[in-house]
A and B are shown apart, each in its own frame.
Chain A
Amino acid sequence: GENVEQHPSTLSVQEGDSAVIKCTYSDSASNYFPWYKQELGKRPQLIIDIRSNVGEKKDQRIAVTLNKTAKHFSLHITETQPEDSAVYFCAASPNQGGKLIFGQGTELSVKP
């Protein structure tokens, strides 16, 4: 089955800097790769996703890149703000939706 590895487990940046979180997956059949943000005490919420027919996707300060050959994908957050502080999870799905297998999570701390 699918296995998703996520690094780093914790990341601390200064406000205004960029943050990068990386994930690798094992199942070459996976074709949908979302990223979720979970604030303390809240539910995980989708912030951006990418499908296997696209190499990069951007939404304002957030971008995701996908390298299918290497089976890895990354989340890039530019001009970080304190409200970006949260735990971020990557995930992969072989079904173009349906069940998601999550990475271990990255706790991002943005210091003012």
Chain B
Amino acid sequence: ETGVTQTPRHLVMGMTNKKSLKCEQHLGHNAMYWYKQSAKKPLELMFVYNFKEQTENNSVPSRFSPECPNSSHLFLHLHTLQPEDSALYLCASSLLAVGELFFGEGSRLTVL
């Protein structure tokens, strides 16, 4: 148990669907992140939240919409996705100024 929990673990959706990914951390951290991991690419940073305020949007298409209601929860809302968005979406958290990122198990997304 790493203290970072992601649901669902697997998700299959059509291009017209709307779904959400959820992340929860029980580590008392003050920063949360979304990363995308594709087969041929490195871990790509998508969004950063510090103290529930978004501090970075790494040129992510608007069909991905993050939400951070508090320092422990992070969502990624998905709508009108494309097949190339199929990937493993990893949530992570950290204590700012310390460094180590703790990752969740990831949500494996398949867009048909």
Task: Please list the residues of chain A having a beta carbon within 8 angstroms of any beta carbon in chain B.
Answer: 4, 6, 32, 34, 42-46, 49, 51, 89, 93, 95-105
- Specify which chain B residues have a CB less than 8 angstroms from the CB of A95 in the assembled complex: 96-97
Task: Determine if B97 and A97 form an interchain contact, defined as CB atoms under 8 angstroms apart.
Answer: yes
Task: Determine if B95 and A97 form an interchain contact, defined as CB atoms under 8 angstroms apart.
Answer: yes
Task: Determine if A49 and B33 form an interchain contact, defined as CB atoms under 8 angstroms apart.
Answer: no
Please give me the 5 A-B residue pairs with the lowest Cβ-Cβ distance, nearest first: A97-B99, A102-B43, A43-B103, A104-B42, A102-B42
CB-based nearest B residue for A5: B42
Task: Determine if B48 and A44 form an interchain contact, defined as CB atoms under 8 angstroms apart.
Answer: no
- Specify which chain A residues have a CB less than 8 angstroms from the CB of B94 in the assembled complex: 97-98
Across chains A and B, the number of contacting residue pairs, with CB separation under 8 Å, is 60
Bound-complex Cα distance A84 to B50 (A): 34
- Label chain B's interface by main secondary structure: loop
Bound-complex Cα distance A93 to B45 (A): 12
How near does chain B come to A92, taking the closest CB pair, in angstroms?
Answer: 11
- Specify which chain A residues have a CB less than 8 angstroms from the CB of B56 in the assembled complex: 99
B85 contacts A by Cβ under 8 Å: no
With A44-B90, A44-B103 in contact, is A97–B98 under 8 Å at CB? yes
With A43-B2, A43-B104, A44-B90 in contact, is A99–B99 under 8 Å at CB? no
